[in-house]
Amino acid sequence: MTKIFIDPGHGGEDPGATANGLREKNICLSLALKLRDVLNQEYEGHTLKLSREADTTVTLRQRTNMANSWGADYFVSIHINAGGGTGFESYIYNGNYASKPETNRLRNLLHEQVVKETGYRDRGKKEANFHVLRESAMYGVLTENGFIDHSTDAEKLKSDAFLNQIARGHASGLARALGLKRKSVQYHTIQKGDTFWALSRQYHTTVAKLLKMNPGVDAERLQIGERIRVK
């Protein structure tokens, strides 16, 4: 089993960047939970752990200690950018270390999938001396998923459907990088705004097939938290 450690940036007393009525910590948590759900619902061959699953304060050292103690194989830290730009960028640790070529190869696979899924402007594959990348004892990446202080990016980040796209980009990227296999039977947990039409596009199927697989489900009255079969 491949152990994937998901780290939603900031939280609790640390809001991260704030602008346009948004707080980075809240978006990071939402993306991390969505990523967890996509990976668990659609893929197999892995186990997951999150640095936080609620609006709690977790120090940088606590985050890397958790991942190292658990023996994670891959560390992905999720953030939202600020500072006047637009688009998506990713980071690996900028030091000299034996696993750097492989760390970069895995990052490239994830990076490309997020850009493909979201249509974000590609700001590049970068390196930095971030604590969570430097002090984690496994392959790792930190993603910056749009700019909270850019009006166009902020409007996208207010959309639950767009957050689903970001999470799905991370999931498919991780699956490619880590060799995760798709489940032969897949389920989806209904979220706010879901419809059978939208789900048919998301899972590359048809409304008729969804109705056939879920005979007891009222397509006009989907309940948040309801679990339906999609494949």
Note whether 161 and 191 are same-domain residues: no
Note whether 140 and 205 are same-domain residues: no
Note whether 100 and 193 are same-domain residues: no
Note whether 166 and 211 are same-domain residues: no
**What is the β-pairing status of strands 43-44 and 46-50?**
unpaired
What distances in angstroms separate CA 119 from CA 41, 113, 115, 145, one per listed residue?
24, 10, 5, 11
Note whether 32 and 126 are same-domain residues: yes
Q: Which residues pair with 43 in a beta bridge?
A: 182
**181, pLDDT greater than 90:** yes
Q: Please confirm, yes or no, whether 144 is among the known catalytic residues.
A: yes
**What is the β-pairing status of strands 122-128 and 88-93?**
parallel
Beta carbons within 10 angstroms of residue 32's beta carbon? 25
Note whether 173 and 204 are same-domain residues: no
Kindly report the CATH number assigned to the domain that includes residue 209: 3.10.350.10
Note whether 136 and 172 are same-domain residues: yes
The H or E element containing residue 86 is none
Any idea what DSSP says for residue 11? Answer: B
The model's pLDDT over 123-153, given as tens digits with 9 standing for 90+, comes to 999 999 999 999 999 999 999 999 999 999 9
Note whether 70 and 154 are same-domain residues: yes
Q: Give pTM, 2 decimals.
A: 0.84
Note whether 48 and 11 are same-domain residues: yes
Note whether 163 and 95 are same-domain residues: yes
Note whether 167 and 191 are same-domain residues: no
Q: Which domain holds residue 43?
A: 2-182
pLDDT at 116: 97
Q: How many domains does the chain contain in total?
A: 2
What distances in angstroms separate CA 68 from CA 3, 9, 39, 89, 93, one per listed residue?
11, 17, 21, 25, 16
Burial class (CB in 10 A: 0-12, 13-18, 19+), 113: buried
Kindly report the CATH number assigned to the domain that includes residue 171: 3.40.630.40
**What is the β-pairing status of strands 2-8 and 46-50?**
parallel
The H or E element containing residue 22 is strand 22-23
Note whether 123 and 177 are same-domain residues: yes
Which pLDDT band, with edges at 50, 70 and 90, does 184 fall under? Answer: confident
Query: Which residues lie closer than 8 Å to 124 by C-beta, 6 or more apart?
Result: 89
The model's pLDDT over 27-50, given as tens digits with 9 standing for 90+, comes to 999 999 999 989 998 899 999 999
Catalytic-labelled residue, pool 42, 112, 144, 220? 144
Instruction: Give the 3-state secondary structure of residue 19.
Output: strand
CA dihedral 68, 70, 75, 80 (to 10 degrees): -100
The model's pLDDT over 45-65, given as tens digits with 9 standing for 90+, comes to 999 999 999 999 999 999 999
Cβ pair 88, 122 in contact under 8 A: yes
